[in-house]
Structure 1
Amino acid sequence: MCSTMKLLRVLVLIALPLYCFAGSGCPLVEEVVNKTIDSQVSTDEYQAFLKPFSDGSSTDKAIAQLKECFLTQSDETLSKVGEMMNIIYKSKWCAAF
């Protein structure tokens, strides 16, 4: 697993309660996840989408590396990541927030 993916996971877990209310409850998080696992979204497009959340070139580089990690995955793996996110959104634990 890419270390960038681990970093993103930590950042998402920290930021999620700040932006979301219940379930996913946050169209922005859903859109980020969807663009992350969509093999049709290029690295440049992904970086442009997340540019408002970047604080410099090191963040831009990490965003590009994260997307590259997902672009190297099979369609089956990407589909399962999407399924996993839907399960998380619908879980009782996530709905408690």
Structure 2
Amino acid sequence: MKLLTVLMLTALPLCCYAGVGCDIMDDVISMTIDPDVDVTEYINNLQEFIPGEETENALTAMKQCFLDQSEETLDKVDDLKQQIYSSFWCARY
């Protein structure tokens, strides 16, 4: 779970640096760590970005990993997300 979170959040500054997709990436990350969004709603909201069944299965597993975490862990992931957004690389965007 920790590795998955690190890998997901590592891509965030690269997307911001490119100047595209920051709003979309923020929405996806927010939905991923939101415990009120269930797996079905998550997959339905991301349907336009899912090219096939393998991707859908991977996203389902990832969302389920976040649903299995405590509120404290999810709050820490959100704090990390905010720190990345306020970093040098994302500040320009």
Q: Answer whether TM exceeds 0.5 for this pair.
A: yes
- Uncovered stretches (5+) of structure 1, i.e. residues with no partner: 21-25
Query: For the Cα contact (< 8 Å) 2:31–2:37, is it kept in 1?
Result: yes
Q: What residue ranges of structure 2 are gaps of 5+ in the alignment?
A: none
CA 15–60 in structure 1, closer or farther in 2 if over 3 Å, else same: farther
- TM alignment of 1:41-52, pairs within 5 A: 41-52=37-48
Matched, 1:56 2:52: yes
Alpha-carbon spacing, 1:57–1:33, altered in 2? closer, same or farther (3 Å): same
Give how far 1:11 is off: 9.0
TM-score (norm 2): 0.80
Report how far residue 72 of structure 1 moved.
Answer: 0.5
Mapped partners of 1:64, 1:35: distance in 2: 12
Do the aligned partners of residues 30 and 14 (structure 1) sit closer, same or farther apart at CA in structure 2, a change above 3 Å counting?
Answer: closer
Q: Which residue of 2 aligns with 1:9?
A: 8
Structure 1 segments of 4+ aligned residues over 6 angstroms from their partners: none
Write the deviation string for residues 57-79 of structure 1: whole angstroms up to 9, x where unpaired: 00000010010010000001001
Query: Where in structure 2 are the equivalents of 1:1-97 lying within 5 Å?
Result: 1=1, 5=4, 9=8, 12-13=11-12, 16=15, 17=18, 19-20=20-21, 26-95=22-91
Tell me the amino acid that sits aligned with residue 64 of structure 1.
Answer: T
d(CA) in 1 for partners of 2:9, 2:31: 18
State how far apart, in whole Å, the 2-side matches of 1:14 and 1:89 are.
8
Give how far 1:10 is off: 8.2
